[in-house]
Structure 1
Amino acid sequence: MSEFPRRTVDRHYADGAWTADTIAGLVARQDRDRVAFVAPEGTFTWGEYDDLSSRLARSYADSGLAPGDRLAVLLTGGALTHIAYLAAQKAGLVTVGIGPRAGDAEVTHLLRATGAAGLATRDVHRGRSGAAIARQCGARRHVLLDLDALPPDGLEQPRGLGPDDLFFLNSTSGTTGVPKCVRQTMNNRKFFGPLAHAAGRFGPDEVFASMLPAPYGFGLWSAHVVPAMYGYPTVLTAEFDAAETLRLIEEHRVTVLCAVTAQFIMLLNAPEFAAADLSSLRVLFTGGERVPLSRAAEFEERTGCAVLQFYGSNEAGPISVTTVDDPRERRLGTAGRPIPAMNVRLVGEHGQVAARGPGCTPGYLDDAAANAALFRPDGWLVTGDLAGLDDDGYLSVTGRVADFIIRGGHNVSALVVEEAVGSHPSVAQVAVVAAPDPVLGERACAYVVTRAPLTLDELREHLDAAGVSKQNWPEHLVPLDRLPVGTGGKVDKASLRADAARRFTGTEELLPR
């Protein structure tokens, strides 16, 4: 049953934004002898991917799972992740995607919130027994995922999930509280395909590499959906490692790399970067968080590829996109032009981004309060981001409604401070959060990974010389060897805020240097 009203479905089909294709159908029509995945488990053709997912679908049915059930899947990256997702679609199951580094509390919450009929894992997940995790988290059943133990024949299912059915529940990244479950249909995620194809000017022989956790929006479209739409082989890793990623790009002549901002910055910072042959790269799709202009420019200069981004969210889908045809200052200095079909508008006094289009989720699962905050009464989805449009129609994100430092009653954008700090040549990566202050309420605290030692006074001299307004200077500087990363691959600002609260109120147990 469609997750959307009939009139919405009809409209998006009529304008060509949605199609009747399922992901299973897209996989089945690819050349069975061509490579689909290069993964830690081995190399899989499209035919093997199709057959293995059908056999796993039978295994799901044999274990007592019935169409309409929800199956939580907890896996590190690799081909098995996509086989498990596709098998669920063929068996009529809704996948509950759980980030590979989710802790027991998060897994328990997601199992309960979704009413999942079971938890599927490998025998061992990140050093722990999968069965033990299932017991600890209260799963109704544990489903062991083992490609060597599948039944010989696949499930004969006349119709699995349709393109407008609920097919996936992915959680918010969990960095701001208890994760909410975002409902997804295949057509929501397929909407990225033609947009990415046009933005990157894809040819017939692209080689993808997706370094993202598969359950989240970026990982889902870049590894599970778009390659299946166009038959592109996709290189996968179990978990992101900068040196291994560089080796894989070189070995497999990757042309399209998909990585969140923190990951591509880690690639730049890796000692192996200088010696790696990255000449095959044409496009880097990045985002998920602020893309620092100076580091994006550095990546382009050192690789020769174009750095592109979709601006959007797990809930909204793609809102705007930069393309290889955009002037460099627009491509790197803005979030691109809004996507016409998404009907983007800026609402409210400060220009909050809102959208209503074919990439938008039908809403959160069983969460009326969260849906009331996500959707305005007139049906427009509001993102929580603040933005502006220039005279040429390019959108620039200026901050988040909740990502401000309130210093003496004045709102300071963490995004603006990060951009300023990131312009110092010694700063490799930065994240800015509010630190408590007994007089002013909050002060801006910059957590930095540096190429060379840097003091707060040296940073202030640089910002002064660059003409940065003093209100946008950080008042604390904390050097770290690396910034903490959350389950979705983004910088974990929640842990930084907690550290700042402890650090500047004299509490012990700080983040390690």
Structure 2
Amino acid sequence: MREQVPPATRSIDDAIRENAVAAPLSPAYIEPGGSLTWRAYDGFISLLGKELLERGLGPGDRVGVWMHDGAAVHVALAACNRARLVAVGLGARSGERELEHVLRRSRARALITPRELRGVDAHDVFARLRNTLPDLAEHVLIDDALSPLNGTLTDAGPEDLVRSTNELFPPRPCRPGELVLVNSTSGTTGLPKCVAHDELRWHKFHEYSVDSARLTPDDVCMSVVPAPYGFGLWSAHYTPSFLGTPCLVLPRFDVEQTLTMLEQHRVTVLMAVSTQFIMLLGHPRFASTDLSRLRAMFTGGEAIPPYKAKLFEEQTGCTVVQFYGSNESGALSYTTIDDPQEKRLTTAGKVILEVRVRMFDAHRNEVPLTGTTAQPANNGDIRSLGYLDDPEANSELYTPDGWMLMGDLVTVDNEGYLTVVGRTSDVIIRGGKNISAPAVEAEVATHPAVARCAAVAVPDETFGERVCICVVLHDGAQLSFDELLTHLREREVSVEWLPERMLVMDDLPMSSGGKVAKQVLRDQVARLPNDRLLPNTVSR
């Protein structure tokens, strides 16, 4: 099992300020259009923090951050932290219902956005949200808030302006247990739950990542994982700042652009969910792209196909490593570059001693750590603060004596290596994103032609799983797949929940308890030829 790692001593705000002094003109973030130096990053953080304070926000107020990936979203997250505000991270792909739910649950007083997001006018969205959310009062357009630094993220701006804004903010210490960030997770019940975070847990993630891949300040990192979520936070927001290394980011994942930047900037460490690295591996340019500097890749977020991971290692010479955990629990185990390849690619690594992992049966009784198939839980500093103001959800997340449960069934061997063997919750993992099957079913069931329905996963070589909706129609009713999608889009259903396959059935298989027999249904769908499951793709 993994040994304990010495605790960190400085906050991320300390790290950013130190980097701005020690390497002011070195890049903190690199985008396709240019780079953001540490000095500019530090200056923009203070400038945006000053704007937030001038809007009347005070310590502990929650601020929604709804932005594309890229350097600017990290400015926004860090500015909230520096101003002692709580950032509420919202995925760029969030629909209005999801935005409203998370902003309401978090009681956000302000929302930071660009002018436009995914073709939607953010001002119009804010106006509609404000009509239903009494706490939401301020809309901060990041383009306008940063305009005094004269234009682009590559411009450090006048030294006196940067200095004067920095002086507004005393050092921000890392206080264990202090709420600094809220983000969302799809969980298993449909609308997202709000996960509360302190900063200490991200220190722990950083420490374990350094141990896993032997990270150093000489590394060049690239993270193509969305920033507001757990994997994206440690890989693109915290670890690069603690190391003082540049991090390459994209507004939206693109295979061609990723390959170009990996080669051009001689990236040494890549962070990508399994679907993303499989897409890279399958691209015609992959074999001809010079990835000789790439020495490690963190992946996960979903099951890692060993064959694909082995191919990636063989064709790049890098070593594939991963964490096992969740947005809520943090990491319970991880692999390292020193682990044998078979262990790295077929297990989730050794259990972390410091995390204090236990195993529980279906009745939440503790069982031995090894020699059983059970539900793991932890009680270490790397876990979150739980769900924000949600006692009902927290009662499911924690055991009565305070251990935080994962939604998987795992085994741990005598060497301490953990292997995931199944799930306890009804979710479909598409490209690292948990999609609630009950949530998809509830939306599809609103179509007047649908009598009953059930959502199950169908295997997919690229995304791991896709959502297949099996429907039983009312007598005499007809329903095409396009008609169903049109109905769901009119209901402003999150794009993540849109089914990608549909099967019309005479009846659904039922269990003896009167519920849909999901495993039987999965097996039935898996045996069908592809031409029975239409269409092949859905635009996202």
Using structure 1 for the length normalisation, give the TM-score.
0.78
Name the SS for the 2:170 alignment partner.
coil
Q: CA deviation at 1:19?
A: 4.0
Name the SS for the 1:273 alignment partner.
coil
How do residues 282-321 of structure 1 correspond to structure 2 at under 5 angstroms?
282-321=295-334
Q: Deviations over 1:289-308 (max 9, x none)?
A: 11111111111111110010
Equivalent of residue 86 in structure 1, options 73, 78, 81? 78
Decide whether the 8 Å contact of 1:56 with 1:150 is kept in 2: no
Q: What is the identity, as a one-letter code, of the residue corresponding to 1:21?
A: R
Equivalent of residue 165 in structure 2, options 150, 154, 163? 154
Decide whether the 8 Å contact of 1:175 with 1:494 is kept in 2: no
Q: Tell whether 2:362 aligns with 1:370.
A: no
Give 2:212's aligned residue: 199
Q: Distance in 2 between matches of 1:290 and 1:134?
A: 37
Q: CA deviation at 1:193?
A: 1.3
Q: Deviations over 1:153-188 (max 9, x none)?
A: 415122546433211101003675010010111111
How do residues 33-432 of structure 1 correspond to structure 2 at under 5 angstroms?
33-40=25-32, 42-138=34-130, 139-146=136-143, 148-150=146-148, 152=161, 153-154=164-165, 156-160=168-172, 162-164=174-176, 165-173=178-186, 176-348=189-361, 350-403=373-426
C-alpha spacing 1:226/1:445, structure 2 compared with 1 (3 Å): closer
Name the SS for the 2:165 alignment partner.
coil
C-alpha spacing 1:26/1:201, structure 2 compared with 1 (3 Å): same
Q: Distance in 1 between matches of 2:77 and 2:292?
A: 33
Q: Distance in 2 between matches of 1:41 and 1:339?
A: 40
Give RMSD over aligned pairs: 3.2
Q: Deviations over 1:28-51 (max 9, x none)?
A: 112223221102452112121111
Decide whether the 8 Å contact of 2:112 with 2:140 is kept in 1: yes
Q: Distance in 2 between matches of 1:443 and 1:17?
A: 45
Q: CA deviation at 1:57?
A: 0.7
Q: Distance in 2 between matches of 1:250 and 1:232?
A: 17
Q: Tell whether 2:16 aligns with 1:27.
A: yes
Q: Distance in 1 between matches of 2:226 and 2:384?
A: 19
Decide whether the 8 Å contact of 2:188 with 2:426 is kept in 1: no
Q: CA deviation at 1:449?
A: 4.5
Q: Distance in 1 between matches of 2:319 and 2:223?
A: 16
Q: Deviations over 1:129-174 (max 9, x none)?
A: 2211211223432111026424744151225464332111010036
Q: CA deviation at 1:347?
A: 1.4
Q: Distance in 2 between matches of 1:237 and 1:41?
A: 10
Q: Distance in 2 between matches of 1:117 and 1:361?
A: 23
Give 1:478's aligned residue: none
Name the structure, 1 or 2, with higher relative contact order (CA <8 Å, separation 6+). 2
- The percent of aligned pairs where both chains have the same amino acid is 40
C-alpha spacing 1:378/1:511, structure 2 compared with 1 (3 Å): farther
Q: Which runs of 5+ in 1 are unaligned?
A: 1-14, 405-413, 419-430, 451-491
Q: Number of residues paired by the alignment?
A: 432
Decide whether the 8 Å contact of 1:384 with 1:400 is kept in 2: yes
Q: What is the identity, as a one-letter code, of the residue corresponding to 1:163?
A: R
Per mean C-alpha deviation after superposition, the further-off stretch among 55-64 and 253-262 is: 55-64
Decide whether the 8 Å contact of 1:17 with 1:191 is kept in 2: no
Name the SS for the 1:29 alignment partner.
helix
Q: Distance in 2 between matches of 1:352 and 1:174?
A: 16
Decide whether the 8 Å contact of 2:501 with 2:536 is kept in 1: no
Q: Distance in 2 between matches of 1:192 and 1:358?
A: 10
Q: CA deviation at 1:266?
A: 1.1
Name the SS for the 1:271 alignment partner.
coil
Using structure 2 for the length normalisation, give the TM-score.
0.74
Q: Deviations over 1:49-87 (max 9, x none)?
A: 111101111111112222211000001111111111111
C-alpha spacing 1:175/1:272, structure 2 compared with 1 (3 Å): farther
